[in-house]
C-alpha cells in the first residue's frame, strides 16, 4: 500500500478554485516533485496533505487510511516560510516539537544530537534561533521536520537560503532519508534539483495538472531541439544549414538549436567534412525547458 495517495483533490476559496482535481501517489522511498508557477496550487495541496486544511472534494489516504491525529506523528513539514521561535533555544524547541508528534523526550534529544553532529553544528544545541544565520536557521528548520522520524515528509523549497556546500549537505541527507524508505513530497522552483532527486513529478498550472508522470517518460514526449558538437578544429557555416535555429559557442564546443532531429544528421555530415568530430549528441530537453514550455505557453 502506498504511504500517500492523493485522489481528485479539490479546494475552493469562495469563487476561486485553488486546486482542481489533483491526483498523485508517493511510494515508499520516493521523492515526488510537485511543481508549478507561483499561485499554481502547490502550497494549498501540501497543506491539505498535512491536514492543516480540508479538501472540498476528493480524498487523501495515508497507508490506506484517511487523516487522523495518529497521522500527525508520521508527517514532517519543512515550510517555505520559516516557523521557528527566534527567542527559544534550539534544543528546547526541537525537543518540544518532537514530543508534540509523539516522541519521548529522551529519543528526541538523542535524535537532535545526531542531526546537529550530522550538520556539523553541535554547538547550536544551546543557542537561541535568532543567534544563527539565515542558512543555519534553515538547517534547524530541516531538523524540526525530520527529528521525530516521520515516514512522510513535505518539503517546500528545502534548499532556499543555503550556500552551495550546505545545499549538497542537505541534498545528501534527503537522499539518505529516501533510501531508508521515507516518502518525500518535494516542491521547488529549482528544476535541476528536481532532475537530480525525483523520478516522478506533477506540474500544476492555475490549479490544474498540466504534466504528470516519470521525468524520463515526460522527456520522451518533447522534441529534441538541441545538438552538442565538439570538434578538433573550428567548423564554419553551421548557421546556414537549413533547420538550424541558432549556434552558441560553449566551453565544450558548439550548442546548436535545431527544428527537428533530422537536422542533426545534416550537422554531423557538415562538421565531419571540415574536422574530426569528438562529440555529437542530440540532447533531450531539460526539465527547465519543459517547465517553461508547458507553463510559459499558458502563462498570462
Ligand atoms: N487562504 C486563501 N484564500 C484565498 N485564496 C487563496 C488562499 N490560499 C491560496 N489562495 C489562492 O489559491 C491559489 C493557489 O495558491 P498556492 O499558495 O497554493 O500557490 P503556490 O503554487 O504554492 O504558489 P507559490 O509558488 O507562489 O508559493 C492562488 O491563486 C492563491 O491566491
User: How many A from CA of 2 to the centre of ligand 1?
Assistant: 27
167 to each of 104, 171, 198, 282, how far by Cα in Å?
30, 6, 16, 30
In a domain, 234, yes or no: yes
Residue % of the chain over a pLDDT of 70: 99
Decide: 39 in ligand 1 pocket, CB within 6 A: yes
Residue 298's pLDDT is 54
CA distance 90 to 144: 9
pLDDT, tens digit, for every residue of 216-259?
999 999 889 999 999 999 999 999 999 999 999 999 999 999 99
Range of the domain at 264: 223-283
In a domain, 99, yes or no: yes
Residue % of the chain over a pLDDT of 90: 84
Pocket test for ligand 1, best of 9, 15, 16 (most atoms within 8 A of CB): 16
Q: Are residues 68 and 42 in the same domain?
A: yes
In a domain, 295, yes or no: no
Residue 297's pLDDT is 61
Pocket test for ligand 1, best of 17, 33, 38, 42 (most atoms within 8 A of CB): 42
Q: Are residues 153 and 211 in the same domain?
A: yes
Q: Contact at 8 Å (CB) between 267 and 236?
A: no
CA distance 185 to 24: 10
CA distance 169 to 159: 10
pLDDT, tens digit, for every residue of 48-106?
999 999 999 999 999 999 988 888 889 999 998 778 999 999 999 999 999 999 999 99
Q: Are residues 210 and 232 in the same domain?
A: no
Q: Are residues 228 and 211 in the same domain?
A: no
Element (H, E) at 87: none
Helix residue ranges, H only, 103-228: 105-118, 134-146, 164-179, 191-197, 215-220
Q: What is the mean pLDDT of residues 283-296?
A: 90
pLDDT, tens digit, for every residue of 265-276?
999 999 999 999
Q: Are residues 145 and 60 in the same domain?
A: yes
- Residue 1 in this model has a pLDDT that exceeds 80: yes
Picking from 218, 248, 275, the residue at the C-terminal end of a domain is 218
In a domain, 150, yes or no: yes
Pocket test for ligand 1, best of 6, 9, 33, 41 (most atoms within 8 A of CB): 41
Q: Are residues 183 and 241 in the same domain?
A: no
Q: Are residues 60 and 197 in the same domain?
A: yes
pLDDT, tens digit, for every residue of 192-222?
999 999 999 999 999 999 999 999 999 999 8
Q: What is the CATH number of the domain that holds 243?
A: 3.30.70
Q: Whose CA is nearest to atom 27 of ligand 1?
A: 38
In a domain, 297, yes or no: no
Kindly tell me the sign of the dihedral angle through the C-alpha atoms of 86, 73, 25, 47. negative
Cα 178–Cα 183–Cα 185 angle in degrees, nearest 5: 110
Lowest mean pLDDT among 75-84, 104-113, 282-291: 75-84
Give me the interface pTM, i.e. the ipTM.
Answer: 0.96
How many domains does the structure of the chain reveal? 2
Residue 300 pLDDT grade (very low, low, confident, very high; cuts 50, 70, 90): very low
In a domain, 300, yes or no: no
Q: Are residues 248 and 152 in the same domain?
A: no
Q: Are residues 190 and 247 in the same domain?
A: no
Q: Whose CA is nearest to atom 16 of ligand 1?
A: 41
What is the longest distance spanned by two Cα atoms in the chain?
73
In a domain, 197, yes or no: yes
Q: Are residues 194 and 258 in the same domain?
A: no
Q: Contact at 8 Å (CB) between 45 and 19?
A: yes
In a domain, 299, yes or no: no
How does DSSP classify residue 41?
A: S
User: How many A from CA of 218 to the centre of ligand 1?
Assistant: 26
Picking from 201, 218, 235, the residue at the C-terminal end of a domain is 218
**Predicted structure pTM score:** 0.89
pLDDT, tens digit, for every residue of 32-56?
999 998 889 999 999 999 999 999 9
Decide: 38 in ligand 1 pocket, CB within 6 A: yes
Amino acid at each position: 500500500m502506498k504511504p500517500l495517495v492523493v485522489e481528485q483533490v479539490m479546494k475552493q476559496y469562495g469563487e476561486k478554485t485553488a486546486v482542481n482535481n489533483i491526483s498523485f501517489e508517493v511510494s515508499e522511498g520516493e521523492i515526488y516533485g510537485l511543481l508549478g508557477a507561483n499561485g499554481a496550487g502547490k502550497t494549498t495541496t501540501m497543506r491539505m496533505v498535512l491536514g492543516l486544511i480540508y479538501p472540498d472534494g476528493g480524498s487523501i489516504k495515508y497507508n490506506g487510511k484517511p487523516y487522523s491525529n495518529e497521522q500527525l506523528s508520521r508527517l514532517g513539514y519543512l515550510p517555505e516560510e520559516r516557523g521557528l521561535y527566534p527567542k527559544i533555544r534550539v534544543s528546547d524547541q526541537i525537543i518540544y516539537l518532537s514530543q508534540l508528534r509523539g516522541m519521548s523526550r529522551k529519543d528526541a534529544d538523542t535524535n537532535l544530537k545526531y542531526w546537529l553532529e550530522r550538520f556539523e553544528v553541535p554547538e547550536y544545541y544551546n543557542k537561541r534561533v535568532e543567534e544563527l544565520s539565515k542558512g543555519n536557521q534553515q538547517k534547524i528548520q530541516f531538523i524540526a521536520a525530520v527529528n521525530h522520524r516521520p515516514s512522510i515528509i513535505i518539503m517546500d523549497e528545502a534548499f532556499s537560503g543555503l550556500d552551495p556546500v550546505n545545499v549538497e549537505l542537505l541534498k545528501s541527507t534527503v537522499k539518505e532519508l529516501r533510501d531508508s524508505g521515507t516518502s518525500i513530497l518535494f516542491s521547488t522552483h529549482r528544476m535541476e534539483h528536481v532532475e537530480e532527486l525525483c523520478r516522478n513529478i506533477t506540474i500544476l498550472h492555475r490549479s490544474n495538472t498540466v504534466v504528470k508522470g516519470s521525468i524520463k517518460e515526460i522527456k520522451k514526449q518533447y522534441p529534441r531541439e538541441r545538438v552538442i558538437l565538439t570538434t578538433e578544429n573550428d567548423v564554419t557555416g553551421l548557421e546556414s544549414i537549413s533547420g538550424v535555429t541558432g549556434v552558441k559557442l560553449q566551453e565544450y564546443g558548439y550548442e546548436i538549436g535545431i527544428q527537428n532531429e533530422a537536422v542533426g544528421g545534416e550537422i554531423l555530415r557538415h562538421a565531419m567534412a571540415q574536422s574530426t568530430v569528438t562529440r555529437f549528441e542530440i540532447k533531450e530537453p531539460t526539465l527547465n525547458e519543459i517547465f517553461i514550455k508547458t507553463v510559459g505557453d499558458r502563462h498570462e
